[in-house]
């Protein structure tokens, strides 16, 4: 199937499926109340996960995926009737509809291995996202984007013109109605103004096993340190460089035989698989952010 066919088939197959994400103060009876609410509204629970941060007085988290006949016509009715339960348990909650495939933008600089992994998994249906555009401060990826009929925007960038660059980027993102931004080895620091437009909606891949080697050139610094493990970390972007909530990490062993280029070669395979897993879990609404941490169901 083509991407368009995959997209429409997925939307049709999942038009009556939704996910309910909940965060609330922990107490007995929460799962029972939510599952009873869903049953009373004709829903069938397909997957249910929950986590109690501290039964003695912390927060409680739930992710329930369910199907419900005619859900696509009953969204407002069900969400409004849930307020009785949410008020009783002081819940923060979100209903997320599986057929609402997330409009996504991919930012890339010179290195393309992470972009290629995302596009490969998107083409084979493993990453169900609606790629609105690719934005880059390098022209390298233009032909790849055009070959897949993805709008490509080349916007040269450096720290001296950050404001102008981001103004144009934000225009494009609004034009494409983007709700998820993936930094696929995009090597420009985003300003607080930019980040504020997309809270916990920007996923980055950092090419180190954080919190080690935050910032630029982590492989060179890892080599100088003589590490025996290198890694990659995918996290939500915040104003604190490479210190946002971690979604996924991976590591591989290295040795004294490995030079910087070897670390980069080994690292590229870690980066692209870690980023793809993090993006997949976000697209499946499996990630709840709690402070500067995540719960991944």
Ligand X SMILES: Nc1nc2c(c(=O)[nH]1)N[C@@H](CN(C=O)c1ccc(C(=O)N[C@@H](CCC(=O)O)C(=O)O)cc1)CN2
Of residues 123, 215, 220, 292, which one binds ligand X by CB under 6 A?
215
Nearest distance from C-beta of residue 36 to ligand X, angstroms:
42
Of residues 190, 203, 246, 247, which one binds ligand X by CB under 6 A?
190
Measure the CA angle with vertex 200, ends 207 and 25; round to 5°. 120
Annotated active-site residue 242? The verdict is: yes
Q: What is the DSSP string of 20-32?
A: EEEEEE--TTHHH
Token pair for 141: 């990826």
Other CB atoms within a 10 A radius of the CB of residue 91 amount to 21
- Among 5-13, 72-80, 86-94, 234-242, which window interacts with ligand X (CB under 6 A)? 234-242
- Residue among 87 and 158 whose Cβ is closer to ligand X: 158
Asked if 159 interacts with ligand X (CB under 6 A), we say: yes
- Among 22-30, 43-51, 186-194, 219-227, which window interacts with ligand X (CB under 6 A)? 186-194
Q: Residue 238's closest CA among 282, 201, 281?
A: 201
Asked if 182 interacts with ligand X (CB under 6 A), we say: no
- Residue among 115 and 237 whose Cβ is closer to ligand X: 237
Asked if 188 interacts with ligand X (CB under 6 A), we say: yes
Nearest distance from C-beta of residue 205 to ligand X, angstroms:
7
Q: Distance between CA atoms of 95 and 74, rounded to whole angstroms? A: 12
Structural element, H or E, at residue 258: none
Q: What are the residue ranges of helices labelled H in 41-95?
A: 71-88
- Residue among 68 and 241 whose Cβ is closer to ligand X: 241
Site string for ligand X, 237-276 (x = CB under 6 A): x-x-xx-x--------------------------------
Q: Which of 16, 130, 242, 285 is catalytic?
A: 242
Residue holding tokens 């929950």?
Answer: 50
CA distances from 251 to 1, 142, 148, 271 (A): 35, 31, 31, 9
- Residue among 237 and 254 whose Cβ is closer to ligand X: 237
- Residue among 49 and 193 whose Cβ is closer to ligand X: 193
Q: Residue 203's closest CA among 274, 121, 136, 113?
A: 274
Asked if 216 interacts with ligand X (CB under 6 A), we say: yes
Q: Is 145 left (phi over 0), alpha (psi -120 to 50) or beta?
A: alpha
Residue 186 burial (CB < 10 Å; 0-12/13-18/19+)?
Answer: buried
Asked if 224 interacts with ligand X (CB under 6 A), we say: no
Q: Please list the residues that pair with 231 across neighbouring strands.
A: 251
Asked if 108 interacts with ligand X (CB under 6 A), we say: no
Of residues 2, 87, 149, 158, which one binds ligand X by CB under 6 A?
158
- Residue among 75 and 168 whose Cβ is closer to ligand X: 168
Residues that bind ligand X (CB under 6 A): 158-159, 183, 186-190, 195, 204, 206, 215-216, 237, 239, 241-242, 244
List, by residue number, the catalytic residues. 242
């Amino acid at each position: 199937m083509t991407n368009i066919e995959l997209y429409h088939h997925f939307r049709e197959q999942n038009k009556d499926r939704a996910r309910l994400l909940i965060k609330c103060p922990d107490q007995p009876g929460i799962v029972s109340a939510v599952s009873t609410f869903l049953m009373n509204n004709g829903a069938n629970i397909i997957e249910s996960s929950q986590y109690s941060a501290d039964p003695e007085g912390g927060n409680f988290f739930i992710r329930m995926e369910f199907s419900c006949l005619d859900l696509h016509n009953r969204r407002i009715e069900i969400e409004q009737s849930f307020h009785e339960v949410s008020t009783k348990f002081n819940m923060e909650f979100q209903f997320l509809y599986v057929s609402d495939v997330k409009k996504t933008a991919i930012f890339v600089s010179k290195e393309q291995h992470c972009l290629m992994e995302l596009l490969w998994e998107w083409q084979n249906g493993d990453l169900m996202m609606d790629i609105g555009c690719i934005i880059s401060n390098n022209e390298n990826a233009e032909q790849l984007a055009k070959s897949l009929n993805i709008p490509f925007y080349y916007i040269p960038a450096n720290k001296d013109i950050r404001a102008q660059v981001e103004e144009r980027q934000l225009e494009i993102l609004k034009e494409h109605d983007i709700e998820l931004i993936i930094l696929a080895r995009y090597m420009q620091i985003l300003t607080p103004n930019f980040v504020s437009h997309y809270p916990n909606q920007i996923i980055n891949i950092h090419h180190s096993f954080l919190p080690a080697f935050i910032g630029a050139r982590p492989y060179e610094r890892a080599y100088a340190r003589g590490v025996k493990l290198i890694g990659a970390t995918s996290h939500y972007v915040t104003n604190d460089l490479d210190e946002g909530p971690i979604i996924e990490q991976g590591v591989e062993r290295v040795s004294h035989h490995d030079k910087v280029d070897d670390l980069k070669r080994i690292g590229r395979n870690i980066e692209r698989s870690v980023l793809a897993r993090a993006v997949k879990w976000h697209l499946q609404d499996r990630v709840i952010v709690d402070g500067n941490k995540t719960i991944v169901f």
